[in-house]
């Protein structure tokens, strides 16, 4: 099934970008391939439904987790979702806690982001000709508040209903990876007042804004980052184990959030992100 096979009536307004544990999240699943001007997305997209509402799932790292954070084609991923009709993106991910009170199993719904990546393609407005052949524009999108306020409120309510005690707000610092932080780096991030550290939250958020999509991050703390804890520091196995332990609750949360997200973007400013830039 290709992107052109989806009718206007069943185009999914909501997408979940996540890991392999979310394949069981959808009912009536069909795979969709989408060609983009930026190359292929991380993998085929799965279009299905949650409580009767069309939803698309995109495996961020590929279905076999073969793409490290710095090799993900973020531009193709977000473009493909937009091409399918998506307007709202829920983005769960594993993070390290930068404060002792943000231990494993904590759900943080951040409201701010700090970019510490390097070399990633992070804009569609890069001076190259547009996909439609027209000259490219110089566009500076507003990004003071990187996450959708309506999406955040919806996720927080759904999280409480699903048995979480979510942390409302906080700053996610995104590092290049794939290595974890040194102790000095972790302590620096903590001194800056940042809450969690991850590897994939940027440029996803800014690319979503450039496409006027709503984007909400759901950060599941899998470890205390290496500057916070003693011992050898965080390991990959620890991250995978703790995230897997919380996957059922996370799926329940996402299901409730999908059911209660508004039908359109009328209640938030995300859909107007390009209003002052279009000429």
List, by residue number, the catalytic residues.
223, 225
What is the SS3 assignment for 177? coil
HSE-CB of 43 using CA atoms within 13 angstroms? 21
Whether the bond into 156 is cis, omega within 30 of 0: no
The two three-digit tokens of residue 186, written as one number: 């972790």
CB atoms within 10 A of CB 10: 12
CA–CA dist 142, 269 (Å, integer): 10
CB atoms within 10 A of CB 142: 14
CA–CA dist 3, 17 (Å, integer): 17
Phi, psi of 19, deg, nearest 5: -100, -175
CA–CA dist 205, 198 (Å, integer): 13
Considering only CA atoms, which of 199, 82, 107 is closest in space to residue 161?
107
Are 61 and 121 within 8 A, CB to CB?
no
Considering only CA atoms, which of 94, 81, 89, 87 is closest in space to residue 41?
81
């Amino acid at each position: 099934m290709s992107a052109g096979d989806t009718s206007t009536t069943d185009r999914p307004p909501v997408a979940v970008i996540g890991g392999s544990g979310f394949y069981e999240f959808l009912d009536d699943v069909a795979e969709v391939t989408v060609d983009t001007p930026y190359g292929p997305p991380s993998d085929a997209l799965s279009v299905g439904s949650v409580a009767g509402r069309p939803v698309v799932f995109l495996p961020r790292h590929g279905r076999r987790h073969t793409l490290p954070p710095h090799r993900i084609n973020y531009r193709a991923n977000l473009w493909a979702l937009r091409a399918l009709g998506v307007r709202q993106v829920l983005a769960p991910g594993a993070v390290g806690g930068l404060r002792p009170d943000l231990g494993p199993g904590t759900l943080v719904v951040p409201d701010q982001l700090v970019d510490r990546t390097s070399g990633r393609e992070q804009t569609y407005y890069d001076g190259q000709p547009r996909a439609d052949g027209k000259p490219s524009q110089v566009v500076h999108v507003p990004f003071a508040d990187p996450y959708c306020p309506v999406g955040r409120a919806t996720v927080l309510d759904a999280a409480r209903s699903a048995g979480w005690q979510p942390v409302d707000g906080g700053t996610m610092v995104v590092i290049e990876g794939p290595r974890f932080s040194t102790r000095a780096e972790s302590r620096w991030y903590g001194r800056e007042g940042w809450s969690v550290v991850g590897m994939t939250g940027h440029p996803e958020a800014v690319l979503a804004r450039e496409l006027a999509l709503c984007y909400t991050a759901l950060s599941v703390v899998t470890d205390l980052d290496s500057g916070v804890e003693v011992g050898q520091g965080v390991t990959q196995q620890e991250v995978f184990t703790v995230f897997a332990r919380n996957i059922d609750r996370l799926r329940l949360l996402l299901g409730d959030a999908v059911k209660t997200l508004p039908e359109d973007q009328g209640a938030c400013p995300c859909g107007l992100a390009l209003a002052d830039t279009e000429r």
